[in-house]
Amino acid sequence: MTFLHYLRIWLTAARYSIMRTLMFRGDFFVWALVELFWMTVNILMVSVIYEHTKSVAGWSKYEMMLLVGTSLLIQRFLMGFFWSSIFEMGRNIRSGNFDFYLAQPGNVMFMATTRKLDPDSLVNSLVALSVVIYSAHQLNLQPSFLAIGCYALLVVAGIVIHYSMLVLCISFAFWFTSAQGIEGSYFTLSEFSRLPREAFKGLANIVFVWALPMVIVSNAPAQTLLHGFQPSLLAWVVGIATGWFALTVFVFNRGLRRYSSASS
């Protein structure tokens, strides 16, 4: 199937999600406000910390705001485009309703992980982007078009890394039936993405920078805006994203062979 075919499928699913949201506007506004409150708490926490210090791991207040804004931007995109679909996939594997995706005209992993959008998260991505722009303005940054393009590419790579790790974790439901607890655990791990890489030493550096690249997904884009285009950094993060995605596809396809449908 061609790219245009998958694009039409995705646009149809996106239109359905938006129509569903318009039918339940109250839910949309409530969840949008909940997410906005949570983002505001994160931003205010940075301000409170820097009332008592001028630097954290070598990062100034607005450098940290830039980092937190980037982390929130990646998370809002992840939750807006994929979050609901991925965690629904785990429930469908357990219940046998995953048969629905096997009958769809396209790649099973694509169909199962892109079926729903969460417009409230996508709307709040504009708030996160505003935090990034405001922080860059306060730092008097004037990034080149190359640096801005690299920043955007690194944000996409960060989304791919998060997406791959989530789908990989949920794919274990093919073997263990239940993937309960992963959502809360992943939220906890993602908190590390709002911390500077320089704050991680020894074992923590190995775990959260190299083994589970939670930290680098937001640090790399932020560093690109702060210090300009860095080819080695871009190649490293894109390589990590490619590796995690390839591993996820392999594990997911292996899991499909073990899936017992509702009719089994």
Taking alpha carbons only, the member of 118, 40, 29, 13 closest to residue 76 is 118
Name 59's bridge partners: 56
What is the C-alpha to C-alpha distance for residues 82 and 104, in angstroms, rounded to an integer?
Answer: 18
Q: How many CB atoms lie within 10 A of CB 120?
A: 21
Backbone angles phi, psi at 97, to 5 degrees: -75, -5
DSSP per-residue string spanning 47-68: HHHTTS-S-BTTB-HHHHHHHH
| Alpha-carbon distances of 223 from 46, 113, 155, rounded to whole Å | 18, 30, 12
For residue 250, the model assigns a pLDDT of 96
CA atoms of 29 and 25, how far apart (whole Å): 6
Instruction: State the first-to-last Cα distance of the chain, in angstroms, to the nearest integer.
Output: 29
C-alpha–C-alpha distance, residues 226 and 246, integer Å? 30
The residue-averaged pLDDT of 144-155 equals 95
Query: Which residue is it, tokens 């993060």?
Result: 237
How many Cα atoms are found within 13 Å in the side-chain-facing hemisphere of 126? 5
Instruction: List, in order, residues 6 or more apart from 164 with CB less than 8 Å away.
Output: 241, 244, 245, 247, 248
The Cα 95–Cα 188 span in angstroms is 27
User: Between 6 and 181, where is the model more confident?
Assistant: 6
Query: Structure pTM?
Result: 0.91
Among 150, 187, 147, 144, CA closest to 169: 187
Q: What residue ranges do the domains of the chain occupy? A: 3-258
- pLDDT value of position 181: 65
CA distance 224 to 144: 10
d(CA 252, CA 246): 10
pLDDT of residue 180: 63
What is residue 103's three-state secondary structure? coil
Percent share of the chain, pLDDT over 90: 48
CA 42, CA 194: separation in Å to the nearest integer? 9
CA dihedral 87, 89, 94, 96 (to 10 degrees): 150
pLDDT of residue 172: 85
Higher model confidence: residue 87 or residue 67? 67
Mean pLDDT of the chain: 88
> CA 45, CA 223: separation in Å to the nearest integer?
21
- Confidence category of residue 18, pLDDT binned at 50, 70, 90: confident
* Segment 205-218 mean pLDDT: 86
**Helices and strands (DSSP H and E) totals, the chain:** 13, 0
User: Which distant-in-sequence residues (6+ apart) come within 8 Å of 210 by Cβ?
Assistant: none
Mean pLDDT of 145-171: 94
Mean pLDDT over 143-153 rounds to 95
What are the pLDDT digits (tens) for 32-75?
Answer: 898 889 899 989 999 999 988 889 888 999 999 999 999 999 99
